[in-house]
Every structure is written in structure tokens, then in C-alpha cells.
Amino acid sequence: MSKELLIDGYLFLFKVLFNVCKFFPLKKKVVFVCSYTDNSQFVYDELTRREEKTEVVFLCRGKAACDHFAETGERVVPIETMRVGAMVRSAYHLATAKVIVIDNYFGFLAAAAFKKPVVCIQLWHACGAFKTFGLEDHSVALRTVRARKRFLNVYRHFDKIVVGSDAMQEIFKQSFGLDESHFIHLGIPRTDLFFDLNREKQVEKSLHREKWRKKASFICTDIS
């Protein structure tokens, strides 16, 4: 119960800040809300390649993401922190951006009522689903009714969800409680690397320079 009260208090404060910031006009701005780096980085690289004249801001969860995107030279703001200054700046950028790109579940979305022209795009951070998440997470049944309503409110903010396959669309539909109208089949941004022939040649050359051939294997240990 105490945890829920803390969450409610945080969301109330964020909602007040966000609603005040909504008085500012929307700007031609893309805000990336990141907990990981790969997918958002590839989308940002494409925006840069196309020389899109738009403001870009990264709202980052965790030091690793903050440090990574700081190297782009764009504005970076830490999120989900009790630092009032950071909370005000994140609320302002979310309230004044026309496009918001996220890669995970962010609870503060439950307190953000975006203006109608704003589009919120969920990239997600994984290519597949090794474990259950969202509404399919077994722990959800143990949460309060209020918490479950909050989860649904966050998911309803996802105007579009980028997927790489029909199978992932079905998983997201169940996990987020959304219908097929929310999905766009563009593939996962970070897999663009496999279609970059120049990058492929660079990797081949670097491997040929290695004195010893190395093998790497991926073993998933989180399949609950």
C-alpha cells in the first residue's frame, strides 16, 4: 500500500507539471524516452542521415542511457528521478513535442494527456519475447485494481507500436490489450545493421585482421 501511495504522489506531481507545460505550444520536436539505447539510436541516426530539421531530446532512465546519448550532442534529461529540475524539464519536453518515441513501460505516461496532434510510438527494446510482460506478466494478478488500471492507462498512450513479425504483434496485442490498428510492420530498427553492406564489409575486414578466430554464443538465462 505504501508503494502505491508513493507512486500516486509522484504521478500527481508529474500531472500538475505536465498540465502547466501544456500551455506552451507544440514544437517540431522528437522526444526519445529511453531505458535502452539500440533502437532509439538507429532511429536517431536515420533522422540525422535525412537531415531532418527537428529538435531532438532524449529523456533517459539510468546513467548508461544518459551517458550514451550525451555523445550525440543533443539535450539529455534524466527521468524517473525525484530531482525537481529534471522532472520539470521532462514534463516540458513531453508536453511540447509532436512525436514521442519510447522503448519500454514508463509509468508517468499514465499522468500525461497528450494533445491530439501528438503521436506516441512504442519501439520496445527487444526483438522477441523471452518472458511474459505487460498484462501477461503473472505478477499483475497480485497487484491492486488501481495499479492494473494504471498499467492500462499507460498502454493506451501507445498510438503506434513497431513490430518485426506477425507473431510479435499477437504477443503485444495480448500484453498491451490493444487491437491490430495500433501496429506498424517496419521491423526492429537495430536489425537494419544486417542490411548495411558497408558495415558488413567493415566487420568482415576487422575479423580477418584477428589473429585467432573467436566464436560467441548467446545463451538466454531469463525465460520465466
Element containing residue 38 per DSSP (H, E):
helix 38-49
* pLDDT confidence of residue 210: 62
* pLDDT confidence of residue 201: 85
d(CA 178, CA 38): 25
The contacts of residue 59 (CB under 8 Å, 6+ apart) are 31, 32, 33, 34, 76, 77, 78, 79, 90, 93, 94
Give me the residue label for grid cell 506531481.
13
* pLDDT confidence of residue 7: 87
* pLDDT confidence of residue 203: 80
DSSP-derived letter for residue 189 is G
- Residues with pLDDT less than 50, the chain: 223-224
* pLDDT confidence of residue 132: 77
* pLDDT confidence of residue 216: 62
* pLDDT confidence of residue 2: 76
* pLDDT confidence of residue 3: 80
* pLDDT confidence of residue 147: 84
* pLDDT confidence of residue 212: 55
Cβ contact 41:133 at 8 Å: no
* pLDDT confidence of residue 42: 92
Q: For the domain bounded by 2-191, which CATH number is listed?
A: 3.40.50.11820
d(CA 131, CA 154): 20
> What is the pTM assigned to this prediction?
0.84
Domain ranges in the chain?
2-191
